[in-house]
Amino acid sequence: MLTRGATVVAAAALAFGVLAAPQARAAFPDRPLRIVVPFTPGGGTDLIARQLAKGLTQELGQTVVVENRPGGSTIIGTENVAKSPADGYTLLMSTFAHAVNPAIHKKLPYDTERAFAPVAMIGKSPNVLVVSSNSRFKSVQDILAYARANPGKLTFGSYGNGTSAHLAGELFKSLGKVDILHVPYKGSGPGINDLIGGQIDMIFSTSASVSGHVKSGQLRALAVTTKERSPAYPGVPTVAESGEAGYFVDSWYGLFAPQGTPAAVIDQLNAAIKKASGDPDFRAALELEGLTASVGTPAALGEYVKQEEARWSRIVREAGITDNP
């Protein structure tokens, strides 16, 4: 039986615990966070993640580091996040491949729909059909004419099976009725180096990966993949208006957390991303890479990805694309 004094102490301890619990939860984040990029350093996704990490470090008051885990058509890095603690300290910088991989890879080491919780869309941009500045090709029509006369002789690079660079090329082949060989790389850096060096003929690259090379004159932009022309590439036509009616591909970048991450933490991260993306320097840096910042709600990102999965699963099936390219 407790004495009166012991009862008071116990009651005080209980009250302190009740009050302390919300304070402990509100402490997020109390240690560094990491954004996993499933590509090699130096590419467009890496660049965007590092720009965002700077802003989030300021907004959250904790260091946000970028960790590159390339390989397996983004599956290696994505699996790492899927199997990380659902506490908000590990985030995935997802791209187009996130919505396409379930259609291409029948045995993923995670369930895309159940393993992740959407946090925020970062932005969207066109892919850009680029060739070396030394290339014979000056237009989409030049490529189509050569490919039809020389089936199987042209090559296009991508940053892995199922990436936007890959599917953009496959859609180009399908609508143009041409045979062009796909050459997958583990990231944008190696692919762009080979394009500049003349080892491959073209890449339907993410804008962020090639804008600097286009401006420096190392690469020539022939077309953008979006429905409308891009302000970042004045004078460059769309693929659709260049000869392939109905063609369009959007690149996008969004953050996901492991499923089970507390809703309050996701909301806090979403709010921090909105503030970071509103910084004029952040927006200017992204716009230079052809990216339009468009941060929305977690639900909006989730719905967008579902729509992308439905659209591309049909195209993957019709084109007969598998995980053995």
Domain ranges (residues) in the chain: 33-124+251-319, 126-224
Amino acid 321: pLDDT:
80
Asked whether 237 and 223 are in contact (CB, 8 A), the reply is yes
Q: Rounded to the nearest 10 degrees, what angle do helices 96-104 and 298-319 cross at?
A: 40
Domains 33-124+251-319 and 126-224 equal at CATH topology level: yes
Distance between CA atoms of 90 and 297, rounded to whole angstroms?
Answer: 19
Handedness of CA 132, 134, 136, 142 (dihedral sign): positive
Instruction: Please identify, in words, the CATH class of the domain defined by 126-224.
Output: alpha beta
* Terminal alpha carbon distance of the chain: 74
pTM for the predicted model, two decimal places: 0.78
Across 11-114, where does the E strand assignment appear?
Answer: 33-37, 64-68, 90-94
Distance between CA atoms of 304 and 285, rounded to whole angstroms?
Answer: 24
One digit per residue, pLDDT tens: the chain, 325 residues? 445 555 544 555 555 554 444 444 558 999 999 999 998 898 778 888 999 999 999 999 999 999 999 988 899 999 999 999 999 999 999 998 899 999 998 899 999 999 999 999 998 889 999 999 999 999 999 999 999 999 999 999 998 777 889 999 999 998 999 999 999 998 888 999 999 999 999 999 988 889 889 999 999 999 999 999 998 898 999 999 999 999 999 889 999 999 999 999 999 999 999 999 988 888 877 776 678 888 999 999 999 999 999 988 988 887 788 776 5
Residue in 110, 119, 115 with CA at minimum distance from that of residue 88 = 119
CATH no. of 33-124+251-319: 3.40.190.150
Amino acid 9: pLDDT:
47
Asked whether 201 and 135 are in contact (CB, 8 A), the reply is yes
Amino acid 24: pLDDT:
45
